[in-house]
Amino acid sequence: MQMKAWLEKYPNILHLDSTFKVNIENYQLYICMAQNANLKGVPVSYCLMNSGNKDNLEFFYAAMRDLNDLQQTQVIMVDKDLTNIDILQHFFDKARMLLCVFHVLKYLKSRVHELRIPLTNRMNIMKNIRRLLYDNDQMSAIYLKEVKTESEGTDFYQYFETNWLSCCEMWQTKHRKNLFNFDTDTNNHLERFNRTLKDHILPKMHISECVVKLILAVDDARTEEMNTYISLKQKICDSNDSTLVQRFGSQLINKAIDLLRKQNDELKQKHYSIEELEDNSWKIGQKDEEKNRFITSSIIHRDSFEDLLFCDCDYFLQNQLPCRHMIFLFDRLDDEKLDQANGIHEIVSINKRWLKATVDYYLNEIAHYDSILSSNTQYNITQMATKKNNILSSNEKYNIIKPTLDLLTARITQYGTDEFRYHVNFLNIVLDLINVNKHKELYIYAINLKKDDTKQPDCETERELITNSSDDIKQESPVEQAIINNEEKIEKHQEINIKLNALEQEHEMKLCKEQEKVLPNLQLKREEAGKNEDQSLSTQKLVLSYSPVINPRGRPRGKASFVSYKQKDNKTAQDKNKKRIYNHVSPDLKTYKHKRNKKVESVSDVYDNAMWLTDLHIHLFFELLQKQFPNINGLCGPAQIHLYTSSLENSIFIFNANNNHWLTIANLDSDNVWKVYDSLSYPKESLVKFFQDILPGEERVTLSFENVQQQVGGNDCGLFALCFATSLCYNEIPSSLFYDQKSLRHHYVNCIENSKIERFPSKSKRGSTRNNCKLVDLYLN
Do 722 and 620 contact (CB within 8 A), yes or no?
Answer: no
Do 676 and 665 contact (CB within 8 A), yes or no?
Answer: yes
Q: What is the pLDDT of residue 665?
A: 93
Do 568 and 537 contact (CB within 8 A), yes or no?
Answer: yes
Neighbours of 98 (CB within 10 A): 24
CA distances, 774 to each of 403, 677, 683, 780 (Å) = 61, 11, 12, 19
The dotted CATH code for 592-779 is: 3.40.395.10
DSSP 352: G
Q: How far apart are CA 646 and CA 694, in angstroms?
A: 10
Instruction: Choose among 749, 717, 714, 760: nearest CA to 613.
Output: 717
Give 576-604 as a DSSP string: HHHHHHHHTPPP-HHHHHHHHHHHHHGGG
Q: What is the pLDDT of residue 341?
A: 39
Q: How far apart are CA 574 and CA 561, in angstroms?
A: 32
Sequence spans of domains, the chain: 2-225, 238-379, 394-486, 592-779
Do 43 and 29 contact (CB within 8 A), yes or no?
Answer: no
Q: How far apart are CA 361 and CA 654, in angstroms?
A: 63
pLDDT averages per 10-residue partition of the chain, 781 residues: 86 87 84 85 90 87 88 85 78 88 88 89 91 80 89 90 86 81 81 83 85 87 69 54 74 81 82 80 82 80 72 82 83 53 55 64 39 36 41 66 72 71 77 70 72 51 44 44 55 62 63 57 52 43 36 39 40 43 42 57 78 87 90 87 85 88 86 87 82 85 89 88 93 90 90 90 75 81 72
Q: How far apart are CA 212 and CA 216, in angstroms?
A: 6
Question: Residue ranges of the alpha helices (H) in 205-340?
Answer: 207-232, 243-248, 254-269, 314-319, 324-332
Q: What is the pLDDT of residue 191?
A: 84
Q: Residue 294 is inside which H or E element, if any?
A: strand 293-302
Q: How far apart are CA 781 and CA 766, in angstroms?
A: 41
* First and final C-alpha spacing in the chain: 64
For the stretch 336-342, contacts whose Cβ atoms lie closer than 8 Å and that sit 24 or more positions apart, written own/partner, are 337/276, 342/307
Q: How far apart are CA 112 and CA 122, in angstroms?
A: 6
Do 666 and 629 contact (CB within 8 A), yes or no?
Answer: no
Q: How far apart are CA 171 and CA 134, in angstroms?
A: 9
Q: How far apart are CA 705 and CA 471, in angstroms?
A: 81
Q: What is the pLDDT of residue 344?
A: 46
**0.85 cut: is pTM over it?**
no
Q: How far apart are CA 241 and CA 264, in angstroms?
A: 7
Q: What is the pLDDT of residue 663?
A: 92
Do 443 and 433 contact (CB within 8 A), yes or no?
Answer: no
What is the number of helices (H) and of strands (E) in the chain?
25, 19
